[in-house]
C-alpha cells in the first residue's frame, strides 16, 4: 500500500477532529484492499472489534494486514494506536488466521523508538503475539539496551511468552 499523501493526511486529521472516529483516507485506488475491509477498518475501534471476522479468507486477511501496515507506519499517533489495538485484538481473537508477521520490524521500531510509552507497550504486546522468531530474538538480544526498567521487564515477559 502506498504511503498516505499530504492530502490524505489532512483528510485523516480532519476526520478525527470532526467526528472523533477513525476514517480512512478519501483516495483508494484499484490496488487497495477490498472495500468491505477498508470500511471495517474505518469503524471506531469498539465497533470494529465487535465484528465477527471468522469468515474472512486469506486474501481478505491480507487486505486487513495491508491497511494495518500502513497505519502502523503512519505519523499520526491516533492511527498508530488504532493499528496496535487492532493487531492485538485480531491476534487474540483469530490467532494464526490474522497474519501480521510482515510488519514485525515496524512493530519493533515502535517498541524501541516511539516517544509514546503506551505505543511502546502495545507494540511489544503485539510482537509477543505476531512477531517473527527473528524479531523476537532481536528483542531478547537487546533487552539490556532498553533504557526503561519497566519496558525491560515487559520485553522479558513478552520474549518468555513468545518462546
Backbone φ and ψ for 160, nearest 5 degrees, come out as -60, -40
Residues in the chain, how many? Answer: 163
Q: Residue 24: inside a domain, yes or no?
A: yes
- Residue numbers of the domain that contains 50: 6-162
pLDDT exceeds cutoff 50 at 161: yes
Q: Residue 42: inside a domain, yes or no?
A: yes
Number of C-beta neighbours around residue 151 at 10 A: 17
Burial group, residue 69, by CB count within 10 angstroms (0-12, 13-18, 19+)? middle
Say how far apart CA 63 and CA 56 lie, in whole Å.
Answer: 10
DSSP letter at 103?
G
Q: Residue 115: inside a domain, yes or no?
A: yes
Q: Residue 91: inside a domain, yes or no?
A: yes
The most confident of 50-64, 98-112, 140-154, by mean pLDDT: 140-154
**Per the structure block, which three cell numbers stand in for 128?**
509477543
Q: Residue 1: inside a domain, yes or no?
A: no
pLDDT exceeds cutoff 60 at 105: yes
* Domain count within the chain: 1
Q: Residue 73: inside a domain, yes or no?
A: yes
Give the three-class secondary structure for 118: helix
CA Rg value for the chain: 16
pLDDT digits (tens, 9 = 90+) for 57-83: 888 888 888 889 999 999 999 999 999
Say how far apart CA 10 and CA 6 lie, in whole Å.
Answer: 6
Q: Residue 14: inside a domain, yes or no?
A: yes
pLDDT exceeds cutoff 70 at 121: yes
Q: Residue 68: inside a domain, yes or no?
A: yes
Amino acid at each position: 500500500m502506498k504511503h498516505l499523501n499530504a492530502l490524505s493526511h489532512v483528510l485523516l486529521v480532519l476526520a478525527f477532529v470532526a467526528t472523533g472516529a477513525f476514517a480512512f483516507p478519501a483516495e483508494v485506488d484499484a490496488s487497495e484492499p477490498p472495500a468491505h475491509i477498508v470500511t471495517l477498518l474505518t469503524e471506531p475501534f469498539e465497533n470494529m472489534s465487535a465484528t465477527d471476522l471468522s469468515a474472512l479468507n486469506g486474501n481478505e486477511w491480507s487486505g486487513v494486514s495491508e491497511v494495518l501496515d500502513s497505519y502502523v507506519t503512519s505519523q499520526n499517533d491516533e492511527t498508530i494506536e488504532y493499528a496496535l489495538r487492532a493487531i492485538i485484538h485480531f491476534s487474540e481473537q483469530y490467532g494464526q488466521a490474522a497474519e501480521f508477521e510482515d510488519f514485525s520490524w515496524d512493530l519493533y521500531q515502535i517498541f524501541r523508538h516511539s516517544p509514546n510509552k503506551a505505543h511502546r507497550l502495545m507494540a511489544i504486546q503485539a510482537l509477543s503475539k505476531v512477531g517473527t522468531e527473528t524479531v523476537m530474538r532481536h528483542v531478547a538480544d537487546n533487552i539490556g539496551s532498553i533504557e526503561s526498567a519497566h519496558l525491560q521487564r515487559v520485553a522479558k515477559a513478552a520474549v518468555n511468552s513468545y518462546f
